[in-house]
Homo-oligomer: A and B are copies of this chain.
Amino acid sequence: MEILTEKKARITDIATRLFREKGYAATSMRDLAQAVGIEAASLYSHVKSKEEILSRICFSLADAFFEAQHHALQPDDAAPAALRKAVEAHVGVVAAHLSASGVFLHEWRHLSEPSLSRFRELRQQYENHWLMLLRRGKEEGVFHYEDEAIAVRHILSALNWIYDWYKPNGRYSVEQLSAHISKLIIQGIQ
């Protein structure tokens, strides 16, 4: 985890919220500066460019997804337990970073090369982890689905959209949410 100065962390946090609400392209550095409480030109003492902020948001969250999954899984888990843990880990990251998840999912295409390619590769790699999980369950005879690519997309779609509707102070805790979601998903393939 990269260490940021307090001010830079604050700028990144506020930018995350603005990029999620208005979109990256429609958020100006002047919008961001006003929300932070300084002049637009002063932002450049803390960040190199607007894109540097976007890049940090996207790659930090990618890190978080990998790390959470890595910590959740044990090599000797049976496939259904592993899938449930992976779902809980993913939901946990999304729920803890709702705005960043929205930016991660939609604004990454405003990255320029080489960040853009690197981002796409990380995403592909993460999807492959899920694919392996599903395959393992199929080989164990406990998962049933006709097409693994569709099944993976189906699962990640359900997990990713959570950022768009989950209310952290609403009816359900993150634990309850991920329990509900993993039940819907796992029943779908069992």
Contacts from A to B (Cβ < 8 Å)? 21-26, 106, 109-110, 145-147, 150-151, 153-154, 156-158, 160-162, 165, 171-172, 177, 180-181, 183-185, 187-190
Contacts and interface: CB of A to CB of B under 8 A. Distances in A.
A147 B187 CA distance: 15
A110 B26 contact: yes
A110 B26 CA distance: 9
A46 to B, nearest CB: 24
B145 A184 contact: yes
Contact of A154 (B23, B181, B189): B181
Main secondary structure of the interface of A (DSSP, over half): helix
Among A24, A162, A180, A185: residue with most chain B CB under 10 A? A180
Contacts of A184: 145, 150-151, 154, 188-189
Nearest to A150: B180
B147 A180 contact: yes
Contact of A188 (B110, B160, B188): B188
Contacts of A145: 180, 184
A8 to B, nearest CB: 25
Contacts of A190: 187
Contact of A157 (B147, B151, B158): B158
B154 A158 contact: yes
Given A161-B161, A187-B190, A180 B110 contact: no
